[in-house]
Amino acid sequence: MSDEIYQDHILDENECPYHRGHLDNSTIVHEDDNPLCGDRVRMELRVADGRVAEAWFDGHGCTISQAAASFLTREVEGKTLAELREMPAQRVLDLLKVRLTASRQKCGLLCFKVLKTMIYTLDEKRSQVDPQSVPPGRCSL
């Protein structure tokens, strides 16, 4: 890993991001910011059969926050929710291929925080919906 964070692959990803914009038929949307520096990232996923069919992001902020969101958006497409649940933060840092200082990790991992929140929200929704989906009088056990 390099200490030079402003490399061409980062600058290129920032200037020509993957799926920056809005997804009309999203299953889930989440947005978060880093109030100290003002970075903001929104991610939108369309989930079908437990798998991310399509992912888009938008936001504004420093090169690292936006390039990381773009890399992660490309990465999550095709992955199952189970795979995303297991994805470690290090995966985002690996995608960036540069070594981030502690303060810049907050920028680089903002998108990861957004993604994880979406996964937890989907899990939460499922756990709330599932008991009701069992018809009365029938035990699921």
Partner 1 sequence: MSSAAKPAAATASPSVRRLDVEAVRRDFPILDKPLPNGQRLVYLDNAATTQKPRQVIAKIVECYENYTANVHRGIHALGDRVTTELEAAREKVREFIGAREVEEIIFTSGTTASVNLVANAWGRKFLKPGDEVLINEMEHHSNFVPWQQIAIERGATLRFIPLTADGRLDLTALDDVLTDRTKLAAVTGMSNVLGTINPIRELAARAKAKGALIFVDGAQSVPHGPVNVCDPAIDFLAFSEHKLYGPTGIGVLYGRRAVLEAMGPFHCGGNMIRRVFKDHTDFADLPAKFEAGTIPIVQAIGLGAALDYVNSIGWEAISAHEHALTRQAFEQMSAIPGVRIVGPSLEHRGSIISFTVEGIHPHDMAELLDRRGIAVRAGHHCTMPLHDLLKLTATTRASFALYNTPAEVDALCEGIQYARKVFRRG
Our finding on whether 61 is near partner 1 (CB under 8 A) is: yes
Our finding on whether 17 is near partner 1 (CB under 8 A) is: no
CB closer to partner 1 out of 14 and 73: 14
Tokens of 44: 């939108």
CB closer to partner 1 out of 45 and 59: 59
Smallest gap from Cβ 4 to partner 1, in A, equals 9
Instruction: Please count the residues of this chain forming the interface with partner 1, following the rule CB under 8 A.
Output: 15
| Alpha-carbon distances, residue 107 vs 50, 121, 124 (angstroms) | 29, 22, 27
Q: Give the residue, chosen from 11, 82, 89, 134, that forms a contact with partner 1 under the rule CB under 8 A.
A: 11
Question: Pick from 13, 98, 93: which is nearest to 57 by CA?
Answer: 13
Q: Give the residue, chosen from 45, 62, 68, 81, that forms a contact with partner 1 under the rule CB under 8 A.
A: 62
Our finding on whether 31 is near partner 1 (CB under 8 A) is: no
Residues at the contact surface with partner 1, assessed by CB under 8 A? 5-6, 11, 36-40, 60-64, 104, 107
